[in-house]
Structure 1
Amino acid sequence: MKFGTSGLRGLSVDLKGRASALYATAFARHLLESGQAKAGDPIFIGRDFRDSSPEISATCIGALARAGFRPVDCGTLPTPALALYSLQHGAASLMITGSHIPADRNGIKFYRPDGEIAKQDETAISSFADAIGGADQAIDEARGTAEDQSGPCEELFFERNAALLPGGALSGLKVGVYQHSTVARDLLVRVLLHYGADVVPLGRSETFIPVDTEAVSEDTIALLRGWTAEHRLDTIVSADGDGDRPLVSNETGEPLRGDLLGLIAANFLEAKVVVTPVTSNSGIEAAGSFAVVRTRVGSPYVIAGMDEAVAGGKNQVMGFEANGGLLTATPFTINGQEALPLPTRDSFLPILSTLYLAATQKKPLSAVAAAYRMPVAAADRLENFPVETSARLMTHLRQSDTNLAAFLDPIGQVAAKSDIDGLRVTLADRRIIHFRPSGNAPEMRCYVEAETEEGARSLLRQGLDTIKDWAKAN
């Protein structure tokens, strides 16, 4: 087990039983010893639709009860709904989810009473886990049950989203909802109907389907295109497994990039400070009247950037990741009402703000997206790419400018580079290529930007091929 860009991740078979009991106990110990919670406090637990999630959830409930807490079961629901409910009650929470990764993997996201854990919390939890479970010490893996508060938890999140737009704001839009196995599937339909949209549920599955909204598969895009044409839809919306990353396609079924959704939401909120990772589109700085802070990839780094802005006296502070998951660090006045901070990834607000923009402008989403005149971006990954090979490659590229120039020589000349997270290189012709090992899987990721779609696709192919050639030779 290890912490990645967002939470603890691992194979489901490894996380079941001992590991989930161990890390839930370690989290409880961290909360108690840091003074963030006390014995008898409630602690909320949610989960996604993976086959392994109910067992892992029950094991965590048992461990948390033995550690002195009062576990509360919030059922299957979006991660931002669990986070909002926990914040309202000033209580910690755990979300059992592997997000968008394959069904044979799972994970746990941890929340303090004031929001998502930070990197220092991850270190403390890992240290407690090492101490508690050291030397193969026996761990009580008995499962437990808890009071069910899934109804009030879901209702609070619905009420938040039902207040974001004017009544009937999406009337006239025909919206498909790709339901697959996301825990957001029923709430998305309910919220869109509330705003007057003509909603068509699509592709509901009782078997878990991993949908990566940051790197939408060709099979998924084919589904979106087919449904769009068949039902004459204006858009299809969806989310990943735990409902914290949005997916929005245009009137042809082509997905919009997550960072564009985040940008649209930033303008909708009239944000003054936007915090986003280095992997988000380079055109964001020129696309709004806000200051932009760049960070490493992962919600803990975005949250740290937002916290720093708030500590510096800034207001109307928000952030988003390249996958479109949106976070708010301060209150925002939306539709005449105050929306409280929700400093964890949320898929609903970016979906709603994007559809609202299309509805108010009476334009197809392709035209809405084109009006931003962003550089064309693309991303992909090499799966089953050994972590050791990724580390050797990054060490080699960072070792000298000569190594980096030789590696990229078949692609272009290096003009500038950034080492915030991986290596992001601006070429002499202003194209951008970024190499970054995944934070939670044996994958090597490549992100690119170019002036045209064909140019971005070509650069992406070159980047991935160059990585593979280097790996074979070294």
Structure 2
Amino acid sequence: MPVSPDVLDAVVKAYDVRGLVGDQLDEAFAHAFGAATAQVLLPDGGRLVVGHDMRPSSPVLAGAFAEGALARGVDVVDIGLASTDQLYFASGVLDAAGAMFTASHNPAAYNGIKLCRPGAVPVAIDTGLGDIRDLAPQIDRLPPAAPGLRTEQDLTDRFAAHVRSFVDPDALRPVPVAVDAGNGMAGHVWPAVVEGLPIETTPLFFELDGSFPNHPANPLEPENLRDLQAAVRAGGHALGLAFDGDADRVFAVDEQGRPVSSSLIGAVVADRLLARHPGASVLYNLICSHTVPETIEAAGGVAVRTRVGHSFIKRRMAETDAVYAVEHSGHYYFRDNYRADSGMIAALVLLEAVAAADAPLSEVVAPYDRYAGSGELNYEVADQRAAMDRVAAAFADRGRADTEDGLTVVTTDGWFNLRPSNTEPLLRLNVEADDEATMARLRDEVADLVTTG
């Protein structure tokens, strides 16, 4: 039975596929989507690398997807269990298109697909994903093709060695760190990455379990950090790290269990990379703290502002040959990682910084911690455009505004960005100022304008 266009419209998002297993994503869907992916991304044949996370449905869906691709004459390299950044590495090192089966931080009932072209080049709705969505319902109408060849290849050790290449092993010293894998793919990859390094890991929830029996693998939610915070405080660790389900994002808490902003982590990593690549360009998205571009410029780098979203960032990295890019959401991109994001690389560079300082994380980030930020606040509104217009009108003569991605306004009191979500009926607000009271006033004023129409 052909896959339903209604289902495709529901599950194909701006940058990937996400849906409920059984109701929306099943073997028939995966087979058709795999065939359409092969046809769109590799119309003249080639290789497609397929990996999957630890969710119970992932091997089945990945297998059906691979069969669909094989039926269109594409060779499939099955790398099995992998983190998303491992899949991007495989796409780069094998020069193959890629498909990763994961729903990242979403609940257990969900699964999804992240795609890339050869060399880990991103695939978004306007760069291939929309074409795949449109082709999938009619893929069976295409004439048959000679089937491709399926092989298996475990790249975990090769990926781990690649991650270690971003630090100087001889400069590392024993660093006690608690790591919460959330029963996700970090539990599979982290031990390989730190093998042979003087990193003293206290593991939390390293058992691969896509039912997430301990807590959701979503470190953005404060309640999901509580186990890590308790372990850090109890064990005398220099810091704690928490990964999301597919381990492409990493978040940190300091030695007292306090969450550390991703912008601060990004600034620390930028400093270290610019020491090795003097004068290089570094990208930051427009909701990062102002400490990020200030750090880049102070280190002699060229700070380049970009929109939110990995497809924009990777494209801009290629244009500027940027060595690194920071997203406030916990994604960190590295030129020498095929411009792909990697939670593992960012975590290891951060540990190198802690080792070099011979100090806990709070002391490492203190020089960068100059502003008060709101974090990302979400507001559900019936009319996004009307709410944005109200805010723009209220601040028309109160600062410098631009609309590169939503509305960004820099005032004498601080700055804010208000932008629509790509996937939900939400407006997302980020505010920063010199101190907490000023930030709160600016935050509350904008929030009142958004919510009272």
Structure-1-length-normalised TM-score = 0.81
Letter in 2 for 1:417: A
Match of 2:242 in 1: 238
Report the alpha carbon displacement of residue 245 of structure 1 after superposing the two structures with TM: 0.9
Are residues 317 and 172 of structure 1, via their aligned partners in 2, closer, same or farther at CA, if it must alter by over 3 Å? closer
Deviations 1:142-175 (A, max 9, x none): xx9954323xx11111111233333354433211
Task: Indicate how the Cα distance of structure 1 residues 77 and 137 shifts in structure 2: closer, same or farther if over 3 A, else same.
Answer: same
Tell me if 1:94 matches 2:115: no
Distance in 1 (CA, whole Å) between partners of 2:313 and 2:417 is 19
Q: CA offset at residue 325 of structure 1?
A: 2.1
CA shift for structure 1 position 196: 0.6
Q: Is the 8 A contact 2:98 2:117 kept in 1?
A: yes
Q: Distance in 2 between matches of 1:365 and 1:59?
A: 44
Partner of 1:218: 222
Aligned partner of residue 80 in structure 1, secondary structure: helix
- Which one-letter code corresponds to 1:320 in the other structure? V
Residue in 2 that maps onto 1:16: 26
Which residue of the other structure, out of 176, 179, 201, is the alignment partner of 1:174? 176
How far residue 211 of structure 1 moved from its aligned partner, in angstroms, is 3.4
Which structure 2 residues correspond to residues 5-404 of structure 1 after superposition, within 5 A? 6-12=15-21, 13-33=23-43, 38-39=44-45, 41-119=46-124, 122-133=126-137, 147-150=151-154, 153-167=155-169, 169-204=171-206, 206=209, 207-208=211-212, 209-213=215-219, 216-270=220-274, 271=277, 272-288=280-296, 289-310=300-321, 317-329=323-335, 340-382=336-378, 385=380, 389=382, 392-398=383-389, 404=392
Q: Percentage identity across aligned positions?
A: 24
Cα distance change, pair 103–424 in 1 and its aligned pair in 2 (3 A): farther
Q: 1:147 to 1:403 in 2, by over 3 A?
A: closer
Q: Which amino acid is the alignment partner of residue 327 of structure 1?
A: Y
CA distance in 1, matches of 2:188, 2:171: 20
**Amino acid in the other structure paired with 1:296:** R
Which residue does the alignment assign to 2:403? Answer: 419
In the other structure, the counterpart of 1:333 is none
Distance 1:253 1:104 in 2: 30
Q: Does the 8 A contact of 1:53 with 1:106 survive in 2?
A: yes
CA offsets 1:171-211 (integer angstroms, 9 cap, x no match): 33211111212212232234335321221111345223543
Partners of 2:166 and 2:158 in 1: CA distance: 13
Give secondary structure in 2 for the equivalent of 1:416: strand
Q: Deviations over 1:2-43 (max 9, x none)?
A: 55454233333313234333332222111233xxxx43x332
Q: Which amino acid aligns with 1:176?
A: A
* Alignment gaps of 5+ in structure 1: 311-315, 330-339
* Cα shift at 1:132: 4.3
> Does 2:419 match 1:436?
yes
Q: Tell me the SS of whatever aligns to 2:305.
A: strand
Indicate if the aligned counterparts of 1:171 and 1:198 stay in contact, CA closer than 8 A. Answer: no
| Residue pair 1:257, 1:323 contacting (<8 A) in 2 also | no
CA apart distance, 1:95? 0.6
Distance 1:466 1:252, change over 3 A: farther
Quickly say closer, same or farther: Cα 1:137–1:52, change in 2 above 3 A. Answer: farther
* Structure 2 CA distance for aligned equivalents of residues 45 and 160 of structure 1: 19
- For 1:397 and 1:444, locate their aligned partners in 2 and report how far apart those are by CA, in whole Å: 9
Q: Deviations over 1:113-140 (max 9, x none)?
A: 1222244x744442343244159989x9
Residues 264/135 of structure 1: CA separation in 2 closer, same or farther (3 Å cut): closer
- The answer on whether the counterparts of 1:381 and 1:443 sit within 8 Å (CA) in structure 2 is no
Q: Within 2, Cα distance between the matches of 1:257 and 1:31?
A: 37
d(CA) in 1 for partners of 2:437 and 2:82? 39
- What is the TM-score with the length of structure 2 in the denominator? 0.84
Work out the CA distance in 2 between the residues paired with 1:420 and 1:100.
Answer: 28
User: Cα gap change, 1:6/1:261 in structure 2, threshold over 3 Å: closer, same or farther?
Assistant: farther
Code of the residue aligned with 2:217 in structure 1: it is V
| Count of residues paired in the alignment | 428
SS at match of 1:50: coil
Deviations 1:366-411 (A, max 9, x none): 121111243222323437x36xx2xx2234524xxx66344x79xx
Matched AA of 2:75: R
Q: Which residue of 1 aligns with 2:3?
A: none
What is the identity, as a one-letter code, of the residue corresponding to 1:14?
Q
Q: In structure 2, the residue corresponding to 1:194 is in which secondary structure?
A: coil
How big is each residue's C-alpha offset from its partner over 1:305-350, in whole Å with a ceiling of 9 and x where there is no partner? 111113xxxxx53222212322233xxxxxxxxxx44221111222
- Residues 269-296 of structure 1, C-alpha deviation per residue, up to 9 Å, x if partnerless? 2251112221112222221221122222
How far apart in 1 are the matches of 2:170 and 2:72?
48
